[in-house]
Amino acid sequence: MQIIIVGCGKVGTALAAKLSVEDHNITIVDTDSNVVQMVANTYDVQGIVGNGASYSILAEAGLEETDLIIAVTESDEMNLLCCVIAKKAGRCQTIARVRDPIYIHERSFIKEELGLSMIINPEFAAAAEISRLLCFPSAIEIDTFAKGRVEMLRLRIGEGCILDGVALKNISSMLGCDVLVCAVERGSDVTIPSGDFILREGDTLSMAASHKNAAVFFKKIGLNTHQVKNTMIIGGGQIAVYLATFLQKMGIMVKIIEIDEKRCETLCELLPKAVVICADGTDEEVLNEERIEQMDSVVTLTGIDEENIILSLYAKTRVKVKSVTKINRLQLNDVIRSLDLDSVVYPKHLTAEMILQYVRATQNSIGSNVETLYKLVNDNVEALEFHIHKDSKVTNTSLQDLKIRKDVLVACISRNDKVIIPGGQDRILPGDSVIVVTTCSGLTDVEDILHP
């Protein structure tokens, strides 16, 4: 596809990185010439310096031949104007980042009236992910498929866990619940395992299951399956507002610590049922005064990644159940992997993932279409949900007879609201939603799982 990305901040740069490796022709547009040159040289994309809401600049970027324009500047209004101009002049698909909470209840209206293909809000997406983690605190990461009927959960095998030394093929019979381990991280190695794979203490698993079976699985291996009762949020930005709103609807008590007095006043107006403390959340004395040791969970949402990491490491020694860390800079991945953090959320990564999913979906072929896409295990693994069409080559043949590539695992089939963890005798039928896990990036159709 021909894609124009307007705005070369963290999200724009992440998109350029992810989309350029999937053989798309990318042009980036930004007013900062130094940033444009850096991104263009790093990811081998074309760069244009200028205002992305200018028709002449978009024309120079190749608007007439463009299939998709993605506007992710710091200004919501600029993003919307850019998409409107592109839609009228170039007749391409358009995606706008819209972050201001004032638009949160108007997204459907804006999308429909302006003819946008998609509106994204990184802060809202991050808050939704964090709220899922606080509902199921033993999981490191949770992704959902099949309209919430299937979950992909990531967890670590701790000391004394009954899974240590168990072969994957014996898990279902041993625990009496249907789950499928799709990927295993052991040190720096990532494996799509066979049934003979033996689990060890320290392994990190990605597993697929229905919500009910996931809860049974966690309970039987001795991990907490109940949502937290309270949480302390350090940092009162927009993610905190969205998150507190989600949590209060779930009956979870919320305490927010924010250093800026004016922002605290705003938080009190927006969240009258939350406890808002005007203080420095990075001060150990403040945390102790606010009784951090009595909290079930702590979420660190300051604007500085290093502060969030240190606070979460400290909280991990004090809180009862869960800590969640917000990270903005994707370049810190290697450092973060070496730390003993519970869960890490990347708002910029979530945004890039949503857009990548949309791009894959527009490349649908006759056999299926991409419904959902998640990058797992530090982008080393992809989990994709395909909706199967009647003409697909994968239908009406048992899985054991399909010539499936060795780096691919059919993890789950959703059929008529029923979740199936498939065995060799199971078949994929038209109308199914099929979840595939693979270390091979770039699948756009379910038929890509087959040997060429």
CATH code for position 289: 3.40.50.720
343 and 325 Cβ atoms separated by less than 8 Å: yes
Q: Do residues 96 and 25 share a domain?
A: yes
Q: Do residues 12 and 108 share a domain?
A: yes
For residue range 416-436, list pLDDT tens digits in order: 888 999 988 999 999 999 999
**Domain end among 56, 86, 120:** 120
Q: Do residues 107 and 133 share a domain?
A: no
Q: Do residues 188 and 274 share a domain?
A: no
| Within a domain: 261 | yes
| Rounded-to-integer distance, Cα 417 and Cα 326, Å | 34
Output the six-digit token pair for 336. 């973060």
| Within a domain: 334 | no
| Rounded-to-integer distance, Cα 120 and Cα 97, Å | 5
Contacts of 414 (CB under 8 A, 6+ apart): 145, 146, 149, 150, 420, 432, 433, 434, 435
| Rounded-to-integer distance, Cα 323 and Cα 134, Å | 9
| Within a domain: 331 | no
Instruction: Say if residue 69's pLDDT is above 70.
Output: yes
| Rounded-to-integer distance, Cα 47 and Cα 27, Å | 6
| Within a domain: 89 | yes
**Domain end among 99, 120, 141:** 120
| Rounded-to-integer distance, Cα 139 and Cα 95, Å | 31
| Within a domain: 199 | yes
Q: Do residues 10 and 86 share a domain?
A: yes
For residue range 41-63, list pLDDT tens digits in order: 999 899 999 999 999 999 999 99
Q: Do residues 277 and 292 share a domain?
A: yes
Strands 297-300 and 322-326 turn out to be parallel
Q: Do residues 12 and 112 share a domain?
A: yes
Instruction: Say if residue 350's pLDDT is above 60.
Output: yes
Q: Do residues 110 and 191 share a domain?
A: no
Higher pLDDT, 443 or 276: 276
**Domain end among 170, 191, 220:** 220
Query: Domain range for residue 417?
Result: 350-449
Q: What's the whole-model pTM score?
A: 0.85
| Within a domain: 413 | yes
Q: Do residues 174 and 144 share a domain?
A: yes
Residue closest to 391 by CA, chosen among 419, 431, 354, 418: 431
For residue range 364-417, list pLDDT tens digits in order: 655 667 888 888 877 789 899 999 988 888 998 999 999 998 889 999 999 988
| Within a domain: 243 | yes
Output the six-digit token pair for 307. 């502060």
Q: Do residues 366 and 418 share a domain?
A: yes
pLDDT tier for residue 182 given thresholds of 50, 70 and 90: very high
- The predicted pLDDT at position 444 comes to 84
Q: Number of folded domains in the chain?
A: 4
- The predicted pLDDT at position 364 comes to 62
| Within a domain: 325 | no
CATH code for position 141: 3.30.70.1450
Q: Do residues 142 and 196 share a domain?
A: yes
Q: Do residues 176 and 250 share a domain?
A: no
